[in-house]
Amino acid sequence: QAVPTKRRTITMCGSVSVCLSVFAAWIAIAESGSGNEWGYEPGIGPSTWSLHYPQCGGSSQSPISVDTASAVLDKNLTAFTFSGYDNVNNISMSMKNNGHTVQIDLTGKLMTISGGGVSDIYRAKQFHFHWGSEDRRGSEHDINDNHFPMEMHVVHYNSKYDTFEDAVNETNGLHVLAFLFEVGTVNHHFDEIIHHFYQIAHKADHVNLTTFPLSGLFPGDLKVYYRYHGSLTTPPCSESVIWTIFKETIKISEDQLMKFRHNVHRNYANETDRDISNDFRPTQHLNHRFVYASDTSAIYKPISASGTLVPSSICIIAIIFLLFVFTW
């Protein structure tokens, strides 16, 4: 018996739509394979990353909000030994604009950290920045919900692996040192970086820097820090990172921050300029994790100015309202 024409049409439509879905899925896979389809703007922003990079939806993600009152004192979190950080010989620094940040790649394999409560030795690979379009945002980590205008990440990989790529998916494969910034006077240690921004104004631009001692960028007190286990804050969000967040901030001037905000762009040279600013991922849930502190001075209850001001101002408004009602 012949299939009625109507039913045959429906079956054909079904196969065409299945075919189209398969084609759409294939395109989606092909796009995710390119690895470039992520950013911070709507459509490709942090809330979409886990669609193409499943690890971004994991339970040990970074950054986080550090609640200083809940941090656990860990006496094993001793001082770091920085080797080669005050050296300029046999280390080369290449700065690039990758469309997401300003990154300085380090070559020479001579800069290592050890100690700091971690048994392995880690080699410095690169450092980069996250910053906001205004002072009240920009950092990825925050302290008691206080955000900072900028954050610097010095990315290291475990020296038991030959390369960064070999380490990126391994437990304790990476160690990132995070430094928060506050507005202060001009910090000339950043001159070599900022003065070359005009040469990396657009995506894919790069320039070789005159090597400077990386330790010059660091604040004075490197003994007081927070520690937790998390992930890369950009795709593929690998959960292989030991995080160290130093309590003392780096000071930089408003004028220097403005150079980060407006002199480097996330587009190619032949496109309309768009600032890289606001290249930070929102904080992620702590879930089962703890944040540890190396010193009691890092464990404190924040003085909440707004917490006391808000109820008192509501109180004053209520009194004025009652006075108004009763005198009327």
Report, in Å, the least distance between residue 17 CB and Zn ion.
42
71 vs 237, which CB is nearer to Zn ion? 237
Cβ-based nearer residue to Zn ion, 102 or 293: 102
C-alpha angle 243-246-247 in degrees, rounded to nearest 5: 135
CA angle 219, 156, 240 (to 5 degrees): 120
**Least distance CB 176 / Zn ion (angstroms):** 7
Alpha-carbon gap, residue 98 to 276, rounded angstroms? 10
**Minimum separation from the CB atom of position 178 to Zn ion (A):** 8
Position 175 contacts Zn ion (CB under 5 A): no
Q: Looking at beta carbons only, is 153 or 247 nearer to Zn ion?
A: 153
For residue 258, which amino acid is it?
Answer: M
| Shortest CB 40 distance to Zn ion, Å | 12
Expressed in angstroms, the distance from the first to the final Cα of the chain is 91
Cα 249 to Cα 134, 147, 169, 193: the distances in Å are: 17, 12, 30, 19
* Residue carrying the six token digits 């499943």: 54
- Residue 193's Cβ-side half-sphere holds a number of Cα atoms within 13 Å equal to 26
Binding mask 128-157 for Zn ion (x = CB under 5 A): -------------------------x----
Q: Out of 52, 100, 147, 153, which one is annotated catalytic? A: 100
Catalytic, 100? Answer: yes
φ, ψ at 9 (rounded to 5°): -60, -45
Q: Which is nearer to Zn ion, 153 or 175 (CB)?
A: 153
CB 153, min distance to Zn ion, A? 4
**DSSP 8-state code for residue 287:** T
- Cβ proximity to Zn ion: between 44 and 299 the closer is 44
Give me the sign of the Cα torsion angle 65, 246, 54, 102.
Answer: positive
From the CB of residue 295, how many other CB atoms can be counted at a distance below 10 Å?
Answer: 16
| Closer Cβ to Zn ion, 168 or 299, answer by number | 168
Closest CA relative to residue 187, chosen from 179, 178, 177: 179
Q: How far is the CB of 275 from Zn ion (least distance, A)?
A: 17
Between the CA of residue 210 and those of 89, 195, 196, 227, 304, what are the distances in Å? Answer: 11, 11, 10, 32, 44
Footprint of Zn ion (CB under 5 A): 153
Which residues participate in catalysis according to the annotation?
100
